Amino acid sequence: MSVLAPVRRDRIITELPQCFHKEAALHSRSSFHPQVTGACQEQRTGTVGFKISKIIVVGDLSVGKTCLINRFCKDTFDKNYKATIGVDFEMERFEVLGVPFSLQLWDTAGQERFKCIASTYYRGAQGEVPGLTAQGPWLADALKENDPSNVILFLVGSKKDLSPPAQYSLMERDAIKVAKEMQAEYWAVSSLTGENVREFFFRVASLTFESSVLAELEKSSARKIGDVVRIHSTDSDLYLTAQRRKSKCCL
């Protein structure tokens, strides 16, 4: 019997959510990778449906990390919330292309005095979401605990509602430039109004799922190749042994 919570109807993903801006996207494909789609249809996703993928949200104090997570997970916004002490997390269950998939969203404290505490929870992250104003030291610390090639980065401007259109246009231009330098995908959201919050987390879940399935397929392929090599080696050993025995007989 499963100990995981059932998937809510509003957490079902049947198509790849599109990126926020094509100039700063991890990729701009309109659909999931064909290998991922095929694996899901053939139920060849291995252990992906049983694993929990770790997403950490990092950034300075008051950039909107907690409000962002609360808006998605609880559909609430509290302008008087208390600053996070240490770390906190929420668990979200999705169904992606018919496969259950779990995300653990880690909300880390932004105060410098909690930096050493938060850093202990960075290890094992598959996705990282730095705030737009704090992509420097927090992100660097998080990447120290993980292989950068196995981490998906998102750069988020979390208070879109506070910027007038003209000012936002200039900020977005700078943000896209920073995202490109970081090799991250850029999103602008508003935790106050909920604008783009659901779309952003669906994108995070989908790209993390896609990466996990591709990694599982690669492992499966490597195991098959290894088995073939071992079989061929065994056959060769047997053949060589037989040849030696035959030679001895001839002598």
CA distance 100 to 50: 8
- What residues have CB less than 8 Å from 136, skipping those under 6 apart? none
The percent of residues above 70 in pLDDT, for the chain, comes to: 72
pLDDT over threshold 90, residue 69: yes
CA gyration radius for the chain? 23
In 3D space, the residue among 110, 119, 107, 167 whose CA is nearest the CA of residue 143 turns out to be 119
Mean pLDDT of 95-117: 77
In 3D space, the residue among 125, 183, 196, 119 whose CA is nearest the CA of residue 157 turns out to be 196
Task: Lowest mean pLDDT of 30-39, 221-230, 235-244, name the range.
Answer: 235-244
Residue ranges of domains in the chain:
9-217
pLDDT in tens, 217-232: 998 887 654 444 443 3
pLDDT the model gives residue 123: 60
Q: Which residue has the higher pLDDT, 84 or 226?
A: 84
Q: Two tokens at 130?
A: 């730095």
What is the rounded end-to-end Cα distance, in angstroms, of the chain?
66
pLDDT the model gives residue 231: 36
Q: Which residue has the higher pLDDT, 199 or 181?
A: 199
Element (H, E) at 104: strand 99-108
The percent of residues above 90 in pLDDT, for the chain, comes to: 47
CATH code assigned to 9-217: 3.40.50.300
pLDDT over threshold 50, residue 133: no
pLDDT in tens, 185-238: 999 999 999 999 999 999 999 999 999 999 999 988 876 544 444 433 333 332
